[in-house]
Structure 1
Amino acid sequence: MKKLYYAAHTYMIVGLVSGLYYREITKLNDFTGDSQLGLVHTHVLALGMLFFLIALALEKLFTLTAGRLFNAFFWTYNAGLAITVAVMTVRGTQTVLGHHTPEAAAAIAGIGHITLTVGLIFFFINLGKCIAKAPATTDLDTQPQTTDH
C-alpha cells in the first residue's frame, strides 16, 4: 500500500516542479507558442498522482498488491510514464529554445506510450482477478433494508 502512496506523492512533486519549470523557461525565453512542455504538468498529475491515488483506494478495497501481476503493472506503468514524460520534457524544451527535435524522439515517445499501455493491461487484468476473489457481500448488503412509506 505504501508503494502506491509513495508513487502518488512522487508524481505530485514532479508534476508541480514541471509546472514551475514550464512557467520559468517560457518566461525567460519570451516564448508564447505551443510546445509539449505545456502538457507535462497535467500528464504527470493525471497519469501519475491521480492514477496512483485511485489505485490506492482500489488497493484498500481489493488488495491489488496481493495479485500476481501487481509488480509487473507497477514497474511497467512507471517506466512507460517516465519515458513519456522525459521525451515530452526534452521535446518541449527544445521547442521553447528554438531547436529542432530529432525524429528519433517521436519513436521513443511511442515506446513510452506502448509501455504505458502494457502497464494498464497488467493493471486491469490484476484488478479483475482481485475483484473476482473479493468477498461477495459488503456492509451495505448485510444491513436490514427499510422502506419509507
Structure 2
Amino acid sequence: MKKLYWSAVVYLVLGLVGGLYYRELTKAVEFTGPTELGVVHTHLLVLGMTFFLILIGLERLFGLSRSALFPWFLRTYHAGLVLTAGALAVIGTRTVLGLPSGAALAGVSGLGHILLTVGLALLFGCLRTRLFAPASDNADDAARPAALR
C-alpha cells in the first residue's frame, strides 16, 4: 500500500510541476495556441495521483497486491504514464518554441498509451483474480463489511 501512496504523491508533484511549467513557458514566450503541453498536467493528476488514490481503496478492500499480476501491472502502468507524459511534455515544449516534433516523438507517446492500456488490462486481471479468489485466500474478509465480501 505504501507504493501506491508514494506513487500518488509523486504524480501529484509531477502534475503540479507540469502545470506550472506549461503556464510559465507559454507566458514567457507569449504563446497562445494549442499545445500538448496543456494536457501533461491533467494526465499526471488524473492518470497518476487520482488513479493511485483509488487503487489504495481497492487494495484495502480486495488485496490487489496479492495477485501475481500486480507487479506486472504496476511496472507497465508506471512506464506507460511516464512515457506518455514525458513525450507530451517534449512535444508540447517544441510546439511552444516553434520547433517541429516529428513522428518519432508521436510514436513514443503512442507507445506510452499502449503501455497504459496493457497496464489497465493487467489491473482488471488482478481485480478478477482477487474478486473470485477461493475463500481460503481471503482470510481477512471477516474484517470487511458483508456487502463487500
Q: Give the TM-score normalised by structure 1.
A: 0.90
Equivalent in the alignment of 2:63: 63
C-alpha distance in 1 between matches for 2:35 and 2:91: 8
Aligned equivalent of 2:107: 107
Does the CA contact (< 8 Å) of 2:15 and 2:44 recur in 1? yes
Query: Counterpart in 1 of 2:145?
Result: 139
Superposed, 1:92-103 pairs within 5 Å as 92-103=92-103
Q: Which of the two has greater helix per residue?
A: 2
State how far apart, in whole Å, the 2-side matches of 1:48 and 1:108 are: 18
Secondary structure, in 3 states, of the residue corresponding to 2:130?
Answer: helix
1:45 offset after TM fit, Å? 0.2
Aligned residues: 141
CA distance in structure 2 between the aligned counterparts of 1:29 and 1:129, rounded to whole angstroms: 51
Pairing 1:76-95 to 2, within 5 Å after superposition: 76-95=76-95
| Deviations 1:91-116 (CA, angstroms, capped at 9, x unpaired) | 00000001111211111111111111
What displacement does 1:79 show? 0.1
Q: Does 1:41 align with 2:44?
A: no
Measured in 1, the distance between the counterparts of 2:144 and 2:121 equals 27
1:136 shift after superposition: 9.1
- The CA distance in 2 between the partners of 1:137 and 1:11, in whole Å, is 31
Per the alignment, residue 116 of structure 1 pairs with 116
- The answer for the alignment partner of 1:52 in structure 2 is 52
In 2, Cα distance between equivalents of 1:44 and 1:80: 11
Is the contact between residue 62 and residue 131 of structure 2 (CA under 8 Å) also seen in structure 1? yes
Deviation at 1:128, TM superposition (A): 1.1
The match for 1:146 is: none
Percent identical residues: 50
CA distance in 2, matches of 1:61, 1:85: 30
Segments of structure 2 that go 5 or more residues without pairing to the other structure are: none
Q: Contact (CA 8 Å) 2:61, 2:144: kept in 1 or not?
A: no
**More displaced stretch, 105-114 vs 6-15:** 105-114
